[in-house]
Amino acid sequence: GVYNVSQDGFTNDKSPVKTYIEDGQILLWEDGTVIGKVDGDKFSWTSKGGYTYIGTISIDLKTIIYHLSVEGGNETDVVLTLIE
């Protein structure tokens, strides 16, 4: 679906979010980037570029919340809200 992106208290652009099955894993993608391997209502991922995502997905899929850490110490919280 398409989600509104809120980061650091500000709502930014809309972002497409999808899931794919790859190598027997369910992967969560936001705007063309893997943000997590899904396990129930939780997900996590560390990219080759040093980005670490840890989050949860609401049961109704309307809200996805994750914490993003970047090498070097930058961190942010992101809330994705489904546009209906």
pLDDT in tens, 31-76: 999 999 999 999 999 999 899 999 999 999 999 999 999 988 899 9
Q: 7-11, 51-55, 78-82 — which is least confidently predicted? A: 7-11
| pLDDT the model gives residue 8 | 78
* 8 vs 67: which has the higher pLDDT: 67
Structure tokens at 5: 């992106």
Of 5, 73, 62, 61, which Cα lies nearest the Cα of 33? 5
Give the span between the Cα atoms of 5 and 48, in whole angstroms. 23
Q: Are 28 and 34 in contact, with CB atoms under 8 Å apart?
A: yes
Q: What is the pTM of this model?
A: 0.91
